[in-house]
Every structure is written in structure tokens, then in C-alpha cells.
Structure 1
């Protein structure tokens, strides 16, 4: 089995704000693939050039990069130019998935539920414009840097007086700031494996962070956050959310694997799509391996399954069909 993959590059690290998480993901994937006898080698694009990547003559690569320059379509374009099969979504879907605003617009165009939002210019938004946002979206609300992940560049605004400081925090990371309606309820995530009609949802994970604060520390380093997998939901609601995850995945043209994040509104159990991660974390605290384990798939076997999908993703993975 291992010989079918040839020489494999595991790309991790990179230059994004999520470098630290990517290093943890990549080391885990590298160890898992090697444990299966696969000829896997680590490669950090922040420390080595594209010319060196080409010179390695990998047969395929596993992308364990998160954030910009790895998850946003730029690297995917380079790999296609090199003729290197890679894991995960293609250029267009990666670029869309990395942009929370564009993702939401596509979901809305297809009638998929996502919280109401306003887009603010990071440089030109006036104080008066910021003051009007709570009037339209209500309080509390969320401010996000729409091209970042791992809860980097995100702020929960409780009152009008917090709008400016929250905006300033997010504006450090992006040209625009996404102001989003806050949905009170349960935080859920659904990993999806496969492509097109073969895409399937893994068990739902419910995240219960201390005081509902699922920040960078609670996501990757704290043991205080509780994860319930499969999430304690009735069968009908579970099926509905998993189906919505697959539709959201296909709507942006994703392939191979991804993770779709939700809020389940407490008042009526209505699910709302937050974002899609086309190169999710693979650390010891990560949610895709957790869901796979609940489905009877080990971390090592999950890595192999994702790697096997790489030969499907190079030619052309952009069969973008409405959900």
C-alpha cells in the first residue's frame, strides 16, 4: 500500500499567522504517514524555496499549512504549475474558503443559512459607521478578520464602547473587517471527506469552551475545553446538520477534505454556517481526527485517506456544482 504513494512531501509551517499550529499539524501527519511505511518528508515553505520543492521530485504532497500562502489557493496554483498532486481543495475553492465574506455570499446565493453581516473597510471606516453596526446587527456581535483562522483576529463586542477597540484588533490582520450577527447557542463543527457526490460528513463535534470563549489558547493548548463527539443531538437534527455541511462544502467547490463550522441557535435549534476550513488542523486537539476516531477511523488511517485523495485534486478539481 505504501508504495502506491511514492515519495510524499508534507508541507507545514509556512509564513501565516497560523505557523505555530501548522508546525504541530505537520509533525503529526508526518509521523502518521511514516508509521504506515510511507516515504514521507517534511518541507517548510518559509525556510525553503519553490525551486527546492521542485527539486525534491515528490510524487504528491500533503498540505498541512493553515492560513495565507498555504490554504488560500496561492500554493495550490504553484503545485499545479509543478504538476504535483496535492491534498485538499483546488485553487478556486481554497481561495473562496479562505475568504469568510465571499464564502458567506456564495452560501446566501444558494439559500444556505449564515448569520447577517456587514463588511467594513479597515482603513476608511469612520467612528460613526462603527457606531451604526450594533444598531443593525444587535449586541453582542462578532468582529473578524475574514482571511485569518484559528480564532486569530477575532473580537466579541458586548457594548457600543467596545466597537472601536475590537475593530482595531481585527484591522491589524486584514484590509476589511467582517462584522457578524452573534448567534447564541451551541458551537458545532462537521468534518467532510470526499469530493462532489462522494462527499460524506463525519460525526458532529460540539465544542464547549469555558465561558463560551473558544479562543486560540482554548483551541490548541488548554485542556479546559470540552468536546462532545458525536454531539448530543437527536438523529433528525444530526442528519440535517451533516447534510447542510456537505452542501456548504460542495457550494464553494471544496474537495478532498474540509471542516464546516456552525452555530446552533438555542431559541429554535436552527443551524447557521460560520465558515469552512479547507486545510483544517491535525494537532492533538484538532477536531477532524476527533470526529474520524468517533467514526472508527484512526489518525493514521485518516492521514492515509486524505493523502490518497491527492491524485484526484490536480486535474481539474473545480467541478463547481451548486449544493
Structure 2
């Protein structure tokens, strides 16, 4: 097959996307596909349309805005080119943390208490409202951003103004959310509609205090425990929540669902990643390996599931 890989891009997660793309490209070449590697730039759409001519399938190795948010998926839909992963609506919903949390709550998936603020609200009004409705520690983060970019864990009120300012540099809407103390867990979901399965739960143990950008992507920044050391009943509960979250947003083929397991052993959902990282230190390949799927076999399975969906 002639397979294009869109990677790189122009979002603030470009460096991660470059690594994800390289992993995908290497695996596809090992599978003897005719691989077209495209460093995606939305300002060069004419060149992109020419490159995508006669392509059989597209892997989207992009992260963040203009890649993970449904925009590229919409373009490929217009061009009638099959692609691996979730469609426009589910990609957009998953990227919009406020709307995603509303969907999760509708399906009785536990979420942390949160409020969303728009940039047109005055800083004084936002600070005043936060002080009335939240106790420290709490999290301030952009509504649509990944990899913890623009996120601050506010432990003292002196941090609040800077945290709000930082989050607004990334997005026009920000979320203030109760900080949930606990263990970082994630679940990879795999399969086509009605036949999805949750892979083993992974616990992430960051080397720093919080699971920040460096912990996610730096070599040795965190330890992945696969499977997580939790009992069978709790494992099944978390896996079921992950599958339900994936389905409730309408995700397709694969996703990764992040949780915090609080001190009362209640799983609180954080977000669904429709295009999770596929770098050498990424969690999704680790989950696949736990069910005896190598990286290359995982990529081929994504292709098989996608062709099954389109046929």
C-alpha cells in the first residue's frame, strides 16, 4: 500500500510529533509499505494535496492543535482518503476538555470538579470566582492543549495570577480543576466499533513531583508499571471506564484514556487522547507489548482495523 504519514506540524507538541512520526515511518517500512513521509504544514495545503494524490491510507502522527483536533481529519474526509484513528467529531470533542468532561459525566464516569473561564472575562472576576469555589491545591490549564503544556498546579494563592496568564497564552478558554492526589494510570483502547477492548492498565511513576512534559518525554523521566499493581476488580472497573469513555466520544480504532486513582481508590478520568504518543518512551506501545504486540505488529493491526472499517 502507499501510506502517507503526517507528522511534525506546527503545534507546540511538534517535537513529540516528529518522534511519533519517525516510529510510524520505520514500522511501515519494515512492513514493506510504500511510505510517504510528510512534515505537515497547514500553510502549504496545495503541496499537500499534490502529495496525497494516489495515497491509499494516511497515518496521522500529529499531536495538539491542527492535527489532533479534527481539522486534518476533516480535510482527509473531504478528499475521501482513508485514515487511521478517530473522525472529526470525536477528535474535536476529546481535544475540548470542557465538552469531553460533560460527556463523561453524562455517562457516569467520575470527573474532578472544574470550572471553565473565557479570556473575555476580566482577570479580577476569574480570580475572585476561583477563590470562592476552590481550595488549594488546584490545577489551571488550557481547555485545548496536550502534554501538560500551559498547566500549573497552584499550591498557593500567589501563583494564581501567573497560572491564569500562562494558560491563556495557550487557549482562549481555561479550566480550573480540583487537584486530585493519587496515582497516574492510563489505559489503551483498541478495536472497531462494538468490538473495542481495553489493554492492561499502566501506572506511571514520574521521577519529578508531577507528571509534567519532561516526565512524559525525557528518557527515564518516568517509570511505567505494566500491568499496574491494583486488584482485579479495580482493574476491570478502570478498563470499563476507559472503553466507555472511548465509545461515548465516538472514538475509532485506538485511543488512550488517562486517570488519577485517588486516595479512596476511586478512578477519576482526566482525558481521552485520540492520537496518543508513539515515541520510544510512549505508553501505548508499552500497553501493546503487554499483550505480545510488537510496535510493528501494532501498526499493522491499526491498518487492518482501518481497512475493515472502510470496507
Same fold (TM over 0.5): yes
- Identify the residue that residue 290 of structure 1 maps to in structure 2: 286
What SS does the corresponding residue of 1:258 show, helix, strand or coil? strand
Instruction: Provide Cα deviations, 1:92-138, integer angstroms capped at 9, x if missing partner.
Output: 00110111111001111222111010111224233243143144232
How many angstroms apart in 2 are the aligned matches of 1:312 and 1:180? 40
| Separation in 2, partners of 1:306, 1:50 | 26
Matches of 1:205 and 1:301, distance apart in 2:
20
- 1:281 paired to 2:277: yes
Distance in 2 between residues matched to 1:302 and 1:156, nearest whole Å: 35
CA gap of 1:75–1:81, structure 2 versus 1, over 3 A, is same
Does the 8 A contact of 1:114 with 1:272 survive in 2?
Answer: yes
Contact 1:86–1:313, Cα closer than 8 Å, also in 2: no
Residue 185 (structure 1) aligned to one of 179, 182, 191: 182
Structure 2 residue aligned with 1:13, among 5, 8, 11? 8
Q: Indicate how the Cα distance of structure 1 residues 220 and 127 shifts in structure 2: closer, same or farther if over 3 A, else same.
A: same
**Structure 1: runs of 5+ lacking an equivalent:** 1-5, 316-323
The correspondence of residues 172-211 of structure 1 with structure 2, limited to 5 A, is 172-211=169-208
Whole-Å separation in 2 of the counterparts to 1:149 and 1:188: 16
Q: Secondary structure at the match of 1:187?
A: strand
1:255 to 237, 252, 265: 252
CA distance in 2, matches of 1:40, 1:221: 28
Contact 1:190/1:259 (<8 A) preserved = yes
| Aligned position for 2:150 | 153
Cα distance, 1:258–1:175 mapped onto 2, change above 3 Å: same
2:216 to 219, 230, 239: 219
Question: Is the Cα contact below 8 Å between 1:134 and 1:141 reproduced in 2?
Answer: no
How much is the aligned-residue C-alpha RMSD, in angstroms? 1.6
Q: Is the 8 A contact 2:208 2:215 kept in 1?
A: no
> 1:195·1:254 contact (CA, 8 Å) conserved in 2?
no
Structure 1, residues 182-208: CA drift from partner, whole Å, max 9, x if none? 111101011101132111111111111
Corresponding residue of 1:319 = none
Post-superposition offset of 1:78 = 0.5
Aligned 8 A contact 1:143 1:155 in 2: yes
Q: Which moved more, 1:42-51 or 1:16-25?
A: 42-51
TM-score calculated relative to the size of structure 2: 0.95
**TM-score w.r.t. structure 1 length?**
0.92
Q: Map 1:46-195 onto structure 2 (within 5 A).
A: 46=41, 49-56=44-51, 57-195=54-192
Structure scoring higher RCO (CA < 8 A, sep ≥ 6) equals: 1
In 2, distance between residues paired with 1:139 and 1:15? 35
